[in-house]
Structure 1
Amino acid sequence: MGSGDLESRGSSKNRGPPPPPPASNYYTSSSPYYTESLEKQWTSWLVPMIVVANVAMFVVIMIVNDCPKNHNSSLEGNCVARFLGRLSFQPLKENPLFGPSSSTLEKLGALEWKKVVNDNQAWRLVSCIWLHAGVIHLLANMLSLVFIGIRLEQQFGFARVGVIYMLSGIGGSILSTLFIKNNISVGASGALFGLLGAMLSELLTNWTIYANKAAALTTLVIIILINLAVGILPHVDNFAHIGGFLTGFLLGFILLVRPQFAWQERRHLPVEARGKSKYTVYQYVFWILSMILLIAGFAVGLIMLLKGENGNDHCSWCHYLSCVPTSRWHCNNR
């Protein structure tokens, strides 16, 4: 969050411990999401590295795809932007996102139920996070990652944000594979929704340090609901979004806990003079419950997946969470 460390005040040894500065020196509200504190601010390098890795991976995908060589133009039209050579895109009728063919994505690690369950290729739960269906898909995800991830990394460090990103991506992959049988899935959306979920739980578990609580909560919930609502459109894997969001939400209670305001206010005093516990009871309760739910959720999901079970058999209406059929489109994810 904020930058700088607490500095000792007062020059006389006989004055005793200096009085705590006003609360306004500790917390201000520069945005609806977070308050600013005098805690250490981390330098963000992990999120930019993830962006670079995703862009580099997309270039590799397009080189392998090699549309001019592998595509039959007489059947489906010409490659788009042929001046790019091997990097040119599939015809827009085949891929409107300016990207490779589905067969290329499948070859390089796209998430597919049959490959994971029947061919024991569980590594696809991770590899699919680093693949994107096209330039538009890549730009949308990477811009979101920059706006969400850099701020979180500056506040909580690369280790915690990295764990949330990867585990949320895997959680999204597991839920997606359990419910979507007929399509492949790629993208970092599950991991990104995990960061959104972590932001929400961080707000709830650190409620006492926020200046504009209602504004922060309302804004964040609206952003999450809008993004989840977009997921009910066809060709969007909302199960990856939901799985990633739930994983990140639980991880936020575990990894993003902050000391309560009263402890922060007195932390420069001697230990015996603080008189306040570092964390509140509800923070401990959230931490324990989230740890139990997270472990149980991953265990149940992986067991169901390895057994080849179809999540739709246990939830007859859940398929509507990813696609709602209308007169203009149909859904075929089951």
Structure 2
Amino acid sequence: MGALETSKITKDHEGWRLITCIWLHAGVVHILANMLSLLLIGIRLEKEFGFMRIGTLYVISGVGGSLLSALFMVSNISVGASGALFGLLGSMLSELITNWTIYENKFAALLTLVVIILINLAVGILPHVDNFAHLGGFTSGFFLGFVLLVRPQFGYINQKNSPLGFPTGTPKRKYKTYQIILWVIATVILISGFTIGLVLVLKGFNASEHCSWCHYLSCVPTSKWSCNAPSNYCMLSQLGNQLNLTCQSTGKTQTYTLNNPNNTEAIKHLCVGFCS
């Protein structure tokens, strides 16, 4: 159905899943939560920087989240726009940094933004939440912000808009030196990171095997919950009496024809039998 499933990317060469999974969700609550977040964050950014820049940032951040998830969550199936949304959060942080001189109440804005980011990342340690997609999206968006969301200096804008013949003093450069340096560094990191990540994913590299503690970035087990996915957990999609089940633990997919499409107990038994 287009969900992020590493085995299908590596074995069946379905690389398009890195993008399509961004537009899929696990249910009504999932999509409503993500779309509400998109409205709260995206509208402000789009008003300031335009649809093209924010749309590009959104999609690339989503792919960045998919890449990191595919590297660390090899046996899981993932859907959702959370990686792209975290990319917008990351870009807000880098936009504040790269345009630091034009802001008032800089430190208050920085503190508020950091607290919001930390709270959202902390939610990712709950079970069945793909925090690697969040981290990958946030990191991608953070560096993309240095590239796509740079603002010209006020002095340059004033000179550009001054009437012809009006004395403007010493010519101002469009961007400050530190903005250009950050732009170059971020561009190099983005190109290198996406290239290496894509190559590793296509080769079937399992990053979790080389990092014994990294799984704690996505889920921290407590006495209240376990981080192990239940063996009979299924993702499902239903159209009429046609039910498509995907077993979370094995990655297998099967389509069933139901006599009663509304019989949730029967669907649960199908999942248990299919995954066992």
The alignment's TM-score, normalised by the length of structure 2, stands at: 0.79
State whether structure 2 residue 228 is matched by structure 1 residue 332.
Answer: yes
User: Structure 1 residue 328: deviation in Å?
Assistant: 2.2
Written as runs of structure 1 = structure 2, the 5 A alignment for 1:73-84 is none
Say which of 154, 157, 176 aligns to 1:264: 157
Please give the per-residue CA displacement for 1:130-179, whole angstroms capped at 9, x wherever unaligned. 00101111111000000111111111011100110100000000000100
Greater strand share, structure number? 2
Written as runs of structure 1 = structure 2, the 5 A alignment for 1:24-103 is none
Written as runs of structure 1 = structure 2, the 5 A alignment for 1:168-207 is 168-207=61-100
Residue segments in structure 1 that go unaligned for 5+ positions in a row: 1-107
Please give the per-residue CA displacement for 1:90-130, whole angstroms capped at 9, x wherever unaligned. xxxxxxxxxxxxxxxxxx11111111111111111111100
Say which of 186, 206, 217 aligns to 1:321: 217
Say which of 105, 116, 119 aligns to 2:9: 116
Corresponding letter in the other structure for 2:29:
I
Please give the per-residue CA displacement for 1:65-86, whole angstroms capped at 9, x wherever unaligned. xxxxxxxxxxxxxxxxxxxxxx
State whether structure 2 residue 187 is matched by structure 1 residue 291.
Answer: yes
Written as runs of structure 1 = structure 2, the 5 A alignment for 1:123-272 is 123-269=16-162
Q: Residue 278 of structure 1 aligns with which residue?
A: 174
Corresponding letter in the other structure for 2:107:
A
Q: Secondary structure of the equivalent of 2:185?
A: helix
In 1, Cα distance between the equivalents of 2:180 and 2:25? 38
Asked whether the equivalents of residues 68 and 197 of structure 2 are also in contact (C-alpha less than 8 Å), the reply is yes
Query: Following TM superposition, where does structure 1 have runs of at least 4 consecutive aligned residues deviating by more than 4 angstroms?
Result: none
Q: Residue 53 of structure 1 aligns with which residue?
A: none
Q: Residue 81 of structure 1 aligns with which residue?
A: none
In 1, Cα distance between the equivalents of 2:125 and 2:36? 21
Corresponding letter in the other structure for 1:145:
L
Corresponding letter in the other structure for 1:312:
S
User: Structure 1 residue 274: deviation in Å?
Assistant: 4.6
The alignment's TM-score, normalised by the length of structure 1, stands at: 0.65
Q: Which has the larger radius of gyration?
A: 1
Asked whether the equivalents of residues 121 and 134 of structure 2 are also in contact (C-alpha less than 8 Å), the reply is yes
Query: Which has the higher relative contact order, 1 or 2, with Cα contacts under 8 A spaced 6 or more apart?
Result: 2
User: Structure 1 residue 291: deviation in Å?
Assistant: 0.2
Q: Residue 259 of structure 2 aligns with which residue?
A: none
User: Structure 1 residue 272: deviation in Å?
Assistant: 6.7
In 2, Cα distance between the equivalents of 1:332 and 1:249? 31
In 2, Cα distance between the equivalents of 1:178 and 1:332? 18
User: Structure 1 residue 265: deviation in Å?
Assistant: 4.1
Asked whether the equivalents of residues 266 and 274 of structure 1 are also in contact (C-alpha less than 8 Å), the reply is no
Asked whether the equivalents of residues 65 and 83 of structure 2 are also in contact (C-alpha less than 8 Å), the reply is yes
Q: Residue 274 of structure 2 aligns with which residue?
A: none
Q: Secondary structure of the equivalent of 2:151?
A: coil
Corresponding letter in the other structure for 2:90:
G
Asked whether the equivalents of residues 182 and 332 of structure 1 are also in contact (C-alpha less than 8 Å), the reply is no
Higher mean displacement: 274-283 or 183-192: 274-283
In 1, Cα distance between the equivalents of 2:122 and 2:80? 18
In 1, Cα distance between the equivalents of 2:210 and 2:49? 38
